[in-house]
Amino acid sequence: MPVARDINFAVINQATTATLVAAQAAGVKIVVVSLFLVNTAAQTVTLKSGAGGTALTGAMALAANQALILPYNPQGWFETAAAALLELAQSGATQVSGAIAWVAR
């Protein structure tokens, strides 16, 4: 279980598909332990391992101004492949804002 000092934080502020967390060193995975986001228009979002890579979630349909919340989970909600970036893929070009907490394992 990660301790507080091991947790990293990043802002989610994008209007198109983009990297949430840059790829880590060889052999290191990004493990998402919490996340929240709000999108301004109806669309689907998918979290992926690698740019345009493997889906870590299904396509999640969100209505306009709907929030997606993954509360703190010390085991992690999902993880990327080793040395892969974490991407938030969007079906539309509309603003998505929030924050993510993650650990490197």
The ranges assigned to domains in the chain are 4-104
In this prediction, residue 4 carries a pLDDT of 57
Topology given in CATH for the domain delimited by 4-104: Jelly Rolls (2.60.120)
Point out which residues pair with 101 in neighbouring strands. 9, 34
In this prediction, residue 101 carries a pLDDT of 98
* Conformational region of residue 69, where left means phi above 0, alpha means psi within -120 to 50, and beta covers everything else: beta
The fraction of the chain above a pLDDT of 70, given in percent, is 95
State mean pLDDT over 34-62.
Answer: 97
Question: Between these two residues, 2 and 12, which has the higher pLDDT value?
Answer: 12
